[in-house]
Structure 1
């Protein structure tokens, strides 16, 4: 048992030393000139996210030093320190999904945060403006949002952004909408898509008190 403890301690110590060396030799300063290097491949969403989580009581852990509960929220982003042997297992166990044989779906940890609490973060993603109806594909009177009080289309899209208290979204939409190119590219294109995957065309709030803070019904 003592030998195992010494071995684990040496492995963790060696990993921390490697992390320190990596930060020491690979950290660049603003004053340093940029040098040509290898291409950069960006994989969105890999290695966690900027959201924070709080463990309220896991039934089991993969190692004795992995937390079952936490006093405060912690960052889900995978830091270099978490690549240490054994410690990486704690992060992987917190992020894993479980297959539910009853529903036939993979089930993640229970989410108790209302969608409206994520609104500030989601609205900061300017790429979301590309998901709004484009004048190149939608008619001016095609309704995309339905509420008991008012319906919204491209003809009154300004009212939509005003009513959801997001005027900046209108400017994002104006900026991104003209950049949509639907002309044939002139080269062979391979499209990979799913079958029987419904694309929402309308968002419906059946009650005024639901709009816009609660999830709509999709049609």
Structure 2
């Protein structure tokens, strides 16, 4: 790859280099819950510290692939490889033309007869580094700054006395297939949490999640007995959780999402984005989005959260509707997790909310976007979904917003990091 092309890609890639944002927090208080005070400085870590498991969101885990394909989109695309190679995030693959090869390797095949998905034919994909933090700290093995993910949080905890692989662990998973792979992922989550608990003098674990990792952790906790949660889990710190989905998935299904890489045509990415069950799972939910308010406007008809069957029919993408039906009931009622919750997210960032298409634009061109409040990805009404748990579980639910903290940059927000340190260094009062 030429130096120019690489620099161009670095400039336009999905995630800008995280910066430490000193956002002024605003606090919502209600019920009998007391707000956890965030210390401006942790001069000396307390003797006690809770072990931490990091659970990433959509796109937050590295993926490796091995190929044995009979065909490919272009003659220059590899059809076979001797070993596994870095697939996500691999910056060098996200350039025009080569991107077609990448899409063909990333996309999933849907099987209508049993409502399952598999990798594309001749593609074997694995998730490296389970239990370690490397593959959730950095999404590209090159450690390019744009691929920084849980890096700042992990490094802050290490500087405060934590040890990677001992009391700070990572739980990566195949984000494309979630929640279809929960029968594989959840036993691994359970084993990792138990192992971390026993490895750290029977200290209960704090789960730190980001984005879709929040709902996925919620689904996991809902699957566990209360006695298990009381014994092994101290709390969950959910950053930027889309508890009711995100409106921008509507645009993804219609005309694709170039992920902020301006040199990439979103239509090239659309086939693989549509093929992910996680995309269907993260569509807006009626429980948190107004069912009478259209999310998509077109000359022929508008679409609300109650119109998904017609939406996919008009897109001629039946499998999208089938995946949505399979996944929407998993968290639609937002059953409380049964553990102490710290729900943190940004606000007052321009966030896609509605999409207006002309007849010419629908479905293959980008629409006019109407924005609302949120963190740039998750709409405010979705991010606030965790508040309902205050009246639904005995364990406390703490809630705090960080003005101007964008969806990805919240992971490097110094005030958020200090909040996390305050929680993990606070003594554990015992079982919830």
Compute the TM-score of the two structures, normalised by the length of structure 1.
0.51
User: Structure 1 residues 173, 54: closer, same or farther in 2, change over 3 A?
Assistant: closer
Moved more, 174-183 or 114-123: 174-183
Larger Rg computed on CA atoms: 1
Aligned to 1:29: none
Cα distance in 1 between the residues matched to 2:322 and 2:279: 12
Structure 2 residue corresponding to 1:195, chosen from 326, 347, 362: 347
SS of residue paired to 1:189: strand
Give the CA deviation at 1:216. Answer: 2.3
Aligned to 1:172: 323
Contact 2:95 2:264 in 1 (8 A): no
Cα distance in 1 between the residues matched to 2:347 and 2:304: 28
Cα distance in 2 between the residues matched to 1:42 and 1:169: 26
Give the CA deviation at 1:140. Answer: 3.7
Contact 2:286 2:306 in 1 (8 A): no
Give the CA deviation at 1:128. Answer: 0.8
SS of residue paired to 2:343: coil
SS of residue paired to 2:347: coil
Matches within 5 A, 1:29-44: 44=60
Give the CA deviation at 1:41. Answer: 7.8
Give the CA deviation at 1:139. Answer: 4.4
Contact 2:355 2:369 in 1 (8 A): yes
Give the number of aligned pairs.
139
SS of residue paired to 1:122: helix
User: Structure 1 residues 73, 151: closer, same or farther in 2, change over 3 A?
Assistant: closer
Report the RMSD for the aligned CA atoms in angstroms. Answer: 3.7
Compute the TM-score of the two structures, normalised by the length of structure 2.
0.28
Give the CA deviation at 1:159. Answer: 1.6
User: Structure 1 residues 195, 125: closer, same or farther in 2, change over 3 A?
Assistant: same
Moved more, 168-177 or 178-187: 178-187
What runs of 5+ residues in structure 2 fail to find an aligned partner?
Answer: 1-52, 63-85, 106-140, 147-259, 371-432
State the Cα deviation string for residues 137-174 of structure 1 (Å, max 9, x = none). 33443211111221112343222111222111111111
Contact 1:135 1:177 in 2 (8 A): no
Give the CA deviation at 1:113. Answer: 3.0
Give the CA deviation at 1:92. Answer: 4.1
Cα distance in 2 between the residues matched to 1:129 and 1:110: 22
Structure 1 residue corresponding to 2:356, chosen from 197, 200, 204: 204
Cα distance in 2 between the residues matched to 1:160 and 1:50: 33
Matches within 5 A, 1:73-152: 73=98, 92=142, 111-152=262-303
State the Cα deviation string for residues 42-75 of structure 1 (Å, max 9, x = none). 86344643683459xxxxxxxxxxxxxxxx8488
